[in-house]
Amino acid sequence: MNGSPYASVFDVVVVGRAAVGLATALALARTGLRVAMVGPEAQTAPDGADWDNRIFALSPASRRLLDDLGAWQAMHAERIAPVHDMRIWPRAADALSPPRALHFSAWRAQVDALAWIVENRNLTRALAQACRFAGFATFPATLSELDVAGQSGAARLALSDGRGLRARLVVGADGANSRVRELAGIQASLSDYPQRAVVANFDTAKPHRDCAYQWFGEHGILALLPLPAGSQGGGASGGSSGRCSIVWSAPHALADELLALEPQALADRVEAVAGSVLGAMTPIGLAAAWPLRLGRVESLIAPRVALVGDAAHVLHPLAGQGMNLGFGDVQALADTMRGREPVRDPGERMLLRRYERSRAEPVMAMRLATDGLQKLFDPASALLQGPFGAPLATLRGLGWQAVASSGFLKRLLISQAIR
């Protein structure tokens, strides 16, 4: 491997410095392991931007992890919005025959909140600050080569700046196109959904009252997520009562149409699909978009390698669980390392198998749920275009009404979502 000296030796090298990678480094360091980080600093919204287009709905379990890592307290609290209620409809708002909404309540679930809406910039900077305080060795280069087959008891990493590292465990937290996964020989498949996520932020005439909204339908899937309104002096429009962020999973042709609209025209379009649930909407900044994909891997582990976050799984964002699933990986890997015998090699395959087994069920369950819902509500999906499309649509409607009417089923769904 190009004669690199490989002088630096660590228990763990985490490749990837976005939120999941930063959390992984912090969590593993707390188990007593010597940790280093590799990769360029994560890109976030520029300082001049009013609101970050990339936001996450963090679950109670994710908040507990961030609390334990000292990152939650380091975030700007005035830029975090709790979600106390969630209302979901099976089609766009229709004043003539409004469908029954699924209503999920934090009060009924006896939790502080169903989720907390956090900007990527706020989250990543708090985690990066905690990592700086922890004093990790950080190498801002990219990973060029990885050798896990040596007999030295450690993996060898060659970096793009010519330096070499050794680690008993390498954690791939480097995203959907993971270089660690590729070099470790872990097979993966990425398939595109026939949609893109259009994201934008708006001031609203009506307060959101800490409620998130979502509509399925011919338009794709539109979600309105609450943002805190108090930190910016009432909003750019001067008369707003609230703020929200949208994630609109739109078919490609519609996504192109939405992105071509002037900001206020997009705001009017969102308001129409949402039935003016938050009143008139005024844009904050420009819209952005990214492709939606489903990613599967044959294994979460390889010799001296473990995958976390998008390197391990990529989901449709309709349930907003991608980041939470990644933080679940972080917690499970840290628990595995914390429970090992003091002298046990952290890169031992049997130990890593514990981690992989612990994640098999939650990853599969979330993938089946999000992929199944996307196909069931996408009018262009093969499920609804086939010979059983009409019966499936009927069953879908009956199932929706059954869940909407059942307190038990809603409590069961909430209990799975907030774990």
By C-alpha distance, which of 116, 110, 112 is closest to 80?
116
> Which pLDDT does position 346 carry in this prediction?
95
Kindly tell me if the per-residue pLDDT of 359 is higher than 90.
yes
Q: Is residue 135 part of a domain?
A: yes
By C-alpha distance, which of 28, 123, 97 is closest to 323?
123
Read off the tokens for 143. 């990973």
Q: How many CA atoms lie within 13 A of 78 on its CB side?
A: 5
Question: DSSP labels for 163-188?
Answer: -EEEEEEEEE-S-TT-HHHHHTT--E
The residue range of the domain holding 171 is 8-47+123-190+294-373
Residue written as token pair 């042709």: 253
Confidence class for position 53, pLDDT limits 50, 70, 90: confident
234: left (phi over 0), alpha (psi -120 to 50) or beta: left
Read off the tokens for 324. 């939470």
Q: Is 56 helix (H, G, I), strand (E, B) or coil?
A: strand
How large a percentage of the chain has pLDDT more than 90?
A: 65
Kindly tell me if the per-residue pLDDT of 192 is higher than 70.
yes
Query: Mean pLDDT across the stretch 357-365?
Result: 93
43-52, 228-237, 406-415: the lowest-pLDDT one: 406-415
> Which pLDDT does position 105 carry in this prediction?
86
Are β-strands 220-227 and 211-217 bridged in parallel, bridged antiparallel, or unpaired?
Answer: antiparallel
The one-character DSSP state at 206 is S
Q: Is residue 415 part of a domain?
A: no
Total domains in the chain come to 1
Confidence class for position 48, pLDDT limits 50, 70, 90: low
The pLDDT tens digits of the residues spanning 143-190 come to 999 998 766 789 999 999 999 999 999 999 999 999 999 999 999 999
> Which pLDDT does position 316 carry in this prediction?
83
| CATH number of domain containing 332 | 3.50.50.60
Read off the tokens for 148. 């896990």
Distances (CA, A) of 242 to 91, 281, 320: 24, 9, 21
Q: How many residues are recorded in the chain?
A: 419
85-94, 194-203, 353-362, 368-377: the lowest-pLDDT one: 368-377
Say which residues have a Cβ less than 8 Å from residue 49's Cβ, sequence separation at least 6: 121, 285
Read off the tokens for 292. 């939606």
> Which pLDDT does position 6 carry in this prediction?
59
Q: Is residue 251 part of a domain?
A: no
Question: For residues 264-296, b (16+ Cβ closer than 10 Å) or e, as one string?
Answer: eebbebbbebbeebbebbbbbbebebeebebbb
Question: DSSP labels for 209-276?
Answer: TTEEEEEEETTEEEEEEEE--GGGTT-TTSS-SEEEEEEEEEEHHHHHHHHHS-HHHHHHHHHHHTTT
How large a percentage of the chain has pLDDT more than 70?
A: 80
Q: What does the alpha-carbon distance between residue 302 and residue 311 come to, in Å, rounded to a whole number?
A: 13
The pLDDT tens digits of the residues spanning 240-253 come to 589 999 999 999 99
Greatest C-alpha distance within the chain: 73
Residue written as token pair 């830029």: 79
Q: Is residue 313 part of a domain?
A: yes
Q: Is residue 339 part of a domain?
A: yes
Q: Is residue 275 part of a domain?
A: no
Is residue 223 within 8 Å of residue 201, measured between CB atoms?
Answer: no
Q: What does the alpha-carbon distance between residue 173 and residue 307 come to, in Å, rounded to a whole number?
A: 6
Average predicted confidence (pLDDT) for the chain: 85
> Which pLDDT does position 371 carry in this prediction?
77
Q: Is 113 helix (H, G, I), strand (E, B) or coil?
A: coil
Q: What does the alpha-carbon distance between residue 100 and residue 30 come to, in Å, rounded to a whole number?
A: 47
Residues in a beta bridge with 143: 159
By C-alpha distance, which of 59, 37, 80 is closest to 325?
59
Measured at the alpha carbon of residue 290, what is the angle toward residues 201 and 203, in degrees to the nearest 5? 5
Kindly tell me if the per-residue pLDDT of 404 is higher than 50.
no
To which H or E segment does residue 294 belong?
strand 281-297
Q: Is residue 318 part of a domain?
A: yes
Confidence class for position 29, pLDDT limits 50, 70, 90: very high
Q: Is residue 127 part of a domain?
A: yes
Is residue 334 within 8 Å of residue 30, measured between CB atoms?
Answer: yes
